[in-house]
Structure 1
């Protein structure tokens, strides 16, 4: 029996996108109820158990980015996470897909048990949890106007259309204006050493910039729950781009052809992409 061919994948390095997330409207990413007693909050926000500050899980932002990207690219919803009620479907590779042509799985990865091909592919995108800034925490503390530490309680009501009877409910959310700092998106640049040993993985680098489009989709939509009722509008601020090439001991090198390290808005960062793309590619040569 002939030996199986040896496959290889090379990690050329990583691209780092670091930014702040500002709550433009009240933000609610849910946690577990505070208690079962009468008057206890049921619709609460997720908090760091040590500091009790609200935070944004990396999974929430990553999941929102993937969901909107699947819709924007019309990716087929061909894998059942749950077949019962409610039915939950997502996109994965199918027997017609080629990994490098799959605009979703080439960034978010694929698990062998989630596609008929049994193909496994490492994710390129990692997103860390993002925590309420010290400045925002201090501002909310000093204001003394929040119902809970760092959050407000918003009353809502479901109203019977015939009798006008109301069923009130409490919704906890992070107030508009709160800032979460140092959200880190880490993108791994892979390649095949055997096919192109001396060439930078330009396809992988190009795919990174699809992430900028995903962030714009999130800004135009919402994060967390109750977005149709005005919650969850966010803005990305103070974007910084860096690259670390595998094998180099240098610190992350932030690149910006305009001689400034920080892009104040996602719009300004997007406007600089045409100059940033070749600059980033050059670092991998």
Structure 2
């Protein structure tokens, strides 16, 4: 009897236990689904905020662009109005001139001839100016090509020791004295011929170019055997360079001029060691071919 009662109780408890297990699983599944939906909702909210921010940014850009267009439109309208005023003014002037010319008594034959010559001169001068501008542009192009050739020939020499530049249409090549000469002397160094040979190669390839070799010193007085002062030293250094270019590298002497400038055209302050080092140099000046411009002037007169 007791055994039957236990069996009845067990049979009654089994459905309850099974129901409890099923309910817990459903609850866990619903919680997971809720968590997933909550995550999706938060993602959508973030995307919505990003979209709203992007809309605001694009609206700001649009407003800015519209403002710029309005400004440009106003500026264009003002320009057009100004041009229309100028056109009206020119029309009025033209009408006045035409009305005057209709009456041939206003302009005599001599005056008409004078006006014609003036107009011809204006056209000739305009053409002359264009020719000059073209000649100057060609000269500038040749100078730049010469600079590039010199820099290419000289190669990797230190820029502190050799400097090539164009100033006011003239090409200058400044070579430090330590590359060319022994200290306080016009005796050349071992590297002098190497440097001058590279320069001479470019100069020989441009036989129409004339140039001046200038010697420059610092302000420290010098007097030694064979050298009276800085004037003397600068001249002798210039003539030494000219002789090397002529005798060693075959540069035509008719193309060269040797000059000494002593201490009187410094590039830097002679009060410092560095400044004096810069000032002690040999300068090759590519002379402008003024005769070509003079010929141009003569043919256009």
User: Which of the five TM-score ranges fits, normalised by the shorter chain?
Assistant: under 0.3
When Rg is computed on C-alpha atoms for both structures, the one with the higher figure is 2
Which of the pair is proportionally richer in helix? 2
Normalised by the size of structure 1, how large is the TM-score? Answer: 0.20
Relative CO higher for 1 or 2, CA cutoff 8 Å, sep ≥ 6?
1
TM-score normalised per structure 2: 0.20
